[in-house]
Amino acid sequence: MSARRRRAKVKKIKVGIIGAGGIAAGKHLPGHRGVEGVEVIAVCDIVKDKAKAFAEKHDIPYWFTDYRKMLEEMDELDAVSVCTPNNFHAGPTIAALEAGKHVICEKPMAGNVKDALAMLEAAQRTGKILQIGLQSRFNKHMMTLRRLREEGFFGEVYYGRAMAFRRRGIPASPSFITKKMAGGGPLMDIGVHVLDVFLWILGYPKPIKAFGKVDTKFGNRANVVNPWGKWDPKQFNVEDFGMGVILFENGLTVTLETAWASHVEGSGTTFFIGDKAGATFHPFRVYTDKKGEMISYEPEIPKDIQKAPGEFEAFHNAIRNNLPSPVPPEEVIWTSKIFDAIYRSSKTGTSITIK
């Protein structure tokens, strides 16, 4: 079969983007355009100048300031990217699903558990794909560790530490540093990535209880050294440090540590340990015993994983082939519940049961 005939069989997918900020320009737009047969034909932002400028800069034919109007008028849309601030994920996601569109929504799933549950219900009710933008699942190293776990290489995994720790890297935008827009700080911004891929590798065991602490030590102060830029300390009302200890029904215990700012560097790596072997994320290594000796090495990436699709290719493959969501909300909802428990625990000083 000729290349021309193969291309002719690829279903054309038309996409709209909601939220014309940095994540849309830097990740979602090139992500969609990097997949054969995908066209981004519309963009929406509540700020008219942003929507118009984004469309003109990136050669997108239609722009809107109301996502409801975009969904109503653009019946030809097959899918939507939701790139709004965390607390504004639910509205456009649910509206798009109900309009018959598939959705890839940026992480975290939402700024709070209530919104995340509403999004999950909408996806289940409509039968449309809702994929959460957790790209670490598509990292070949992480996929290899998951494969090894599935094959029993690690045995019973009983403890791990999930780390997303910066010496300094506080976002300057109000969309990250205010509760009304973000819902939370580094737990939701960078903690969600490491916690999700950690639990995904381990088969997403169900959490039963969490104890945690969040604090603000840098964000509400002026003149903090921060190469990422300046922000208004008076606006800053989320945590810049958060940690939790999470217990799971299969006996696993996980410590989660996150920070946008700290007076430490090289504080450690994400790891997990089983009774047969363990692994670290950075460096990508496994540790075990063999023939009476302790050994460690970088695992070989299987050939099928080397060829596995990336985040956006997986999304569009699922649309074309009527497959389940590559990052299903039924799994990611647990990160929202864990974060909610950590925030509540920090307020009460007690451990919180996760239902």
Same domain, 128 and 141: no
Please give the pLDDT value at position 267. 86
Contact 62, 83 (CB under 8 A): no
Please give the pLDDT value at position 266. 86
Contacts of 24 by beta carbon, 8 Å cutoff, 6+ apart: 17, 43, 54, 81, 83
For residue 87, the 8-state DSSP code is: G
Same domain, 81 and 207: no
Q: Evaluate whether residue 336 is within a structural domain.
A: no
Contacts of 242 by beta carbon, 8 Å cutoff, 6+ apart: 184, 185, 186, 187, 191, 212, 213, 214, 215, 256, 258, 259, 342, 346
The bridge status of strand 241-248 relative to strand 207-215 is antiparallel
Same domain, 111 and 208: no
One digit per residue, the tens of pLDDT, for the chain of length 355 reads 344 444 446 779 999 999 999 999 999 999 999 999 999 999 999 999 999 999 999 999 999 999 999 999 999 999 999 999 999 999 999 999 999 999 999 999 999 999 999 999 999 999 999 999 999 999 999 999 999 999 999 999 999 999 999 999 999 999 999 999 999 999 999 999 999 999 999 999 999 999 999 999 999 999 999 999 999 999 999 999 999 999 999 999 999 999 999 999 988 899 999 999 999 999 999 999 999 999 999 999 999 999 999 999 999 999 999 999 999 999 999 999 999 999 999 999 999 999 9
Residues 259, 242: Cα–Cα separation, whole Å: 6
Please give the pLDDT value at position 11. 76
Same domain, 108 and 143: no
Question: Residue with structure tokens 């558990």?
Answer: 113
| Residue 62: strand, helix, or coil | strand
Q: Which one-letter amino acid corresponds to residue 328? A: P
Residues 334, 180: Cα–Cα separation, whole Å: 22
Q: Evaluate whether residue 141 is within a structural domain.
A: yes
Q: Evaluate whether residue 313 is within a structural domain.
A: no
Residues 212, 219: Cα–Cα separation, whole Å: 20
CATH number of the domain enclosing 265: 3.30.360.10
| Residue 201: strand, helix, or coil | helix
Q: Can you list the positions of beta strands (E) in the chain?
A: 13-18, 38-44, 62-64, 79-82, 102-106, 130-133, 157-165, 207-215, 241-248, 253-259, 271-274, 277-280, 285-290, 293-297, 352-353
Q: Where are the alpha helices (DSSP H) in 140-182?
A: 140-150, 174-177, 179-182
Same domain, 276 and 231: yes
Domain of 228, in residue numbers = 137-308
Contact 141, 284 (CB under 8 A): yes
Q: Which one-letter amino acid corresponds to residue 258? A: T
Same domain, 102 and 201: no
Question: Residue with structure tokens 């790891």?
Answer: 271
Same domain, 67 and 147: no
For residue 154, the 8-state DSSP code is: T
Q: Which one-letter amino acid corresponds to residue 99? A: A
CA distances from 208 to 67, 211, 250, 304 (A): 37, 11, 10, 35
| Torsion, Cα of 15, 68, 322, 330 (10° steps) | 120
Please give the pLDDT value at position 1. 39
Please give the pLDDT value at position 9. 65
The bridge status of strand 79-82 relative to strand 13-18 is parallel
Identify which of 71, 90, 98 has the alpha carbon closest to the alpha carbon of residue 14.
71
Same domain, 116 and 216: no
Identify which of 29, 167, 10, 6 has the alpha carbon closest to the alpha carbon of residue 104.
29
Query: How many domains in the chain?
Result: 2
CATH number of the domain enclosing 56: 3.40.50.720
The bridge status of strand 38-44 relative to strand 130-133 is unpaired
